[in-house]
Chain A
Amino acid sequence: MSLFIDIPEGKDQLPSPRSERGLLLWFSSVDHKQLGIMYLWLALIFFVIGGLEAMLIRTQLAFPDSPMMTAEIYNQIFTMHGTTMIFLVLMPASIGLGTYFIPLMIGANEMAFPRLNAFSFWMTCLGGILLYFSFLAGGAPNAGWFNYPPLSEANYSPALGIDYFTVGLILTGMGSIGAALNFISTVLTLRAKGMKLTMMPLFVWMMFVNSFLMLAAFPLLNAGLFMMLLDRQMYAHFFLPSTGGSAILWQHFFWAFGHPEVYILALPAFGIISEVIPVFSRKPIYGYRFVAASSVAIALLSYTVWAHHMFAVGMTYAMNGFFAISSMLIGIPTGLKVINWCATMHGGSLRLRVPLLFAIAFLIDFTLGGLSGISLAIVPIDWQVTDTYYLVAHVHFVFLGGSLYGIFAGIYYWFPKMSGRMLSERLGKWHFWLFVLGFNITFLLQHVLGVFGMPRRVYTYPSDLPYWRALNVWSSIGAVMMFAGVAVFLWNIYRSLKQPRAVKNNPWEAWTLEWYPASPPPLKNFEELPPIHSRRPLWDLANPENPDKRLN
């Protein structure tokens, strides 16, 4: 075996992992498309793991006093479920789509810093592996995804799980910061000639804004995590009230990161939806400026709301009031977006393909989740329902109904570009209906459970409380439907990948630059670029007689 392997030429196809040394070419790759795809695989693998953990949760809770899991195991499972889904599914999935499509959508051939790109991916991957290694090292973390001290301190959780949690999250956090640095530099320096910032596709806009959120949010988490680690390993006293520390400071650090984080996971989905709805409604987005500007408003506001997760810790009237108002204000820019998306469909010619179906389900379920968020921002209501299944329902309506539907839509939409093959429309519809119906059964009912008093994070519950049993059983039945939906999705991907490549450059007749090169694009994305004078260069190319208004 020779010491050097041939680096593929720009005009070559992406190397096939099956060919000799193909896998090596992937692992050592710095190409944004390959890294994007690896991010997506990482997310998919962890989605299956996190989903199976969710199924364990729902099986355990289907009936009271279930003998399946002990409290110790259950606590590890729900902690790992939440942590996995947030840091190892939604993060890499959104960053992966960004890595793949930001350069393509702005007419660039690479990210600004290809090696930093690879570094970010491998950090995320390493963080995930460390987190899961904890299962072998004496127990997974078990203090919930926000890991409140003093419970997470060494005297109450002596097992190493939480140390793995801190180190794993610091690593993925560094990976995310790296990705954000790269996205911003790419957008600022590598846009095709003629593409002004105000002409970028909305997905790129949202990822751009999102990157600033990441840059500012993750350092706060990392600082908190380092302190936690020092507490546990070097006997520092940051979060230990018994020796002079403060349990509440962690909550401030965590949520000052945590709330921006939930928008970090939502904005990419907003971006995808802003691409999908226009293309499948066959008309340009309604109110481009509003959609773009409201993201900036959301990003700024998201730094002023963190303590709405702490209404029950006994803050002063003024603090509670401030954070209530700022949280409600976020409803305004988000509402604007919802209105714009609805208005885009209005008067269009809707092609009800799977991406649009997911986008519509997103509109409906995300609105519900957002409205339950507003109800939580009303402090007295939160005082009753915080830390119950009402909150669990909110979390899932915004994470699944929001982010995950968005990512599903994006994957159905962009899969042909990434792989050169279409996903089956028929299987896609099965996936859609099973998942969306199951989702609404599972989590709509959980609002009711919460109002009836069921606290979150319990491995069992009394059997004699009215409706609790029925609601829990149905909630679990919905989860089984989601399981079936995801299984169909996996089958759909597998089946498509077995077929030969047959997709033309632009199967959906979309208008943004990523659809200009072949599917999948060769290693060097663009040999030449179409003229760029509006937000929809490919529309102008296809309709020279009726081009969009010239913007440059």
Chain B
Amino acid sequence: MDHFCAILSTDLTAVEQIHRLSLYAAIVAAVIFFAVLGSILYSLVHFRAKNNPGVPSQKPSNERMEKVLLVIVTAITVVFAWLTFSVMAKVQDIPDDPKPDVVITGHQWWWEAKYPANGVITANQIHIPAGRKVLLELHSADVIHSWWVQALGFKMDMIPGVTNHLWLYAEKPGEYIGTCSEFCGANHANMRIRLTAMDTADFSRWSRDQLAPAVSLNDPLFVEGARLFQQKTCTNCHSIQGVSAKMTIGPDLTHFASRKRFLADMMEINDTNLRAWLTDPQKVKPGAHMPNFILSKKELDALTYYIGHLK
């Protein structure tokens, strides 16, 4: 009984609570399943025509057994209904006036993250502090997506026109993966999540770095890249703080190079990959909402260099 009630104790995280609930459900399901299976196997052994020839009794059934089993099944249902209610209340208690730590918006097919507390804006690789519960506010900019990082919390849909909330909890710093889990079109499979949990000191250092405006080097290639970024209309979709580029159709690139992976965790950030992406986005991620700019080799060099240095 102690163990049973432990499911409701507060020292379990949401994920652990759900895990334990699943375990109970699995055990009860297994018992029911093996009861059914056992009864069938029993009949198969004892009552096959070979072992039980002749015409069986045709007496109409007395229906007492039904009533007994009906009571048992109902009792199980009641117990699980109760468990459902209590665990649900435990793991999804959103305050009436929620103050989200991170506001995440799903886009076809990337993630935008804003931190209302300090104004940090980033994309795709999202950072959270470890060791405390983090409240997310979830939106969508286009179609329905769903946010799911299995190890830290459960799933919540991101629906255009709707605001949803979800708790995440990472006990230890580290990298956690997740995935978009509502079908959202061509690149649904490539819309994965990589979440970095950091301890508090690291997290505030990271936040401070993110708040700084984009670096500006004097290097001619960098300057050329910055010019091209304006000229090639990249600014119509992307924002880079400190430069006149403020659109959110594509991911924020202010500190692009400080992230490890891009395109919603599709590939690692390095020169080759970045170059491949800028050469022909449609080849790397068919369907992605970024056109092919048909850049010359020189322009590619400059742009790759520029973006690759936006630490």
Contacts and interface: CB of A to CB of B under 8 A. Distances in A.
A380 B88 contact: yes
Contacts, number: 241
Interface stretch (A8-16, A283-291, A410-418, A473-481): A283-291
Given A331-B73, A380-B154, 6 more contacts: A71-B188, A248-B162, A287-B66, A320-B88, A324-B84, A339-B65
A378 interface: yes
B120 to A, nearest CB: 25
Contacts of A72: 186, 286-287
B44 to A, nearest CB: 7
Interface residues of B, number: 79
Contact of A287 (B17, B53, B63, B144): B63
A392 B278 CA distance: 37
Secondary structure of the B side of the interface?
mixed
A44 interface: no
A381 B23 CA distance: 10
A345 B47 contact: yes
Nearest to B36: A367
A374 B77 CA distance: 9
B179 A453 contact: yes
Q: 9 closest pairs, A vs B, by CB?
A: A241-B161, A458-B189, A383-B154, A314-B164, A241-B160, A345-B43, A371-B29, A151-B143, A455-B181
Contact of A378 (B25, B185, B286): B25
Nearest to A331: B77
Most buried by B among A317, A386, A458: A458
B186 to A, nearest CB: 5
B8 interface: no
B274 to A, nearest CB: 20
Interface string B33-62: 100110110111001110011111110110
Secondary structure of the A side of the interface?
helix
A349 B146 contact: no
Interface stretch (A142-150, A181-189, A224-232, A523-531): A142-150
Interface string A270-293: 000000000001111011011000
Nearest to A364: B37
A544 to B, nearest CB: 14
A32 to B, nearest CB: 31
A367 B33 contact: yes
Contact of A347 (B56, B160, B185): B56
B157 A314 contact: yes
A381 B32 contact: no
A455 B180 contact: yes
30 contacts: A71-B186, A72-B287, A241-B160, A248-B162, A284-B58, A284-B60, A284-B61, A287-B63, A290-B66, A312-B146, A313-B164, A314-B156, A321-B84, A336-B69, A339-B65, A343-B65, A349-B55, A351-B49, A352-B48, A352-B49, A364-B36, A367-B32, A371-B29, A378-B83, A380-B17, A383-B154, A455-B188, A457-B189, A459-B189, A461-B189
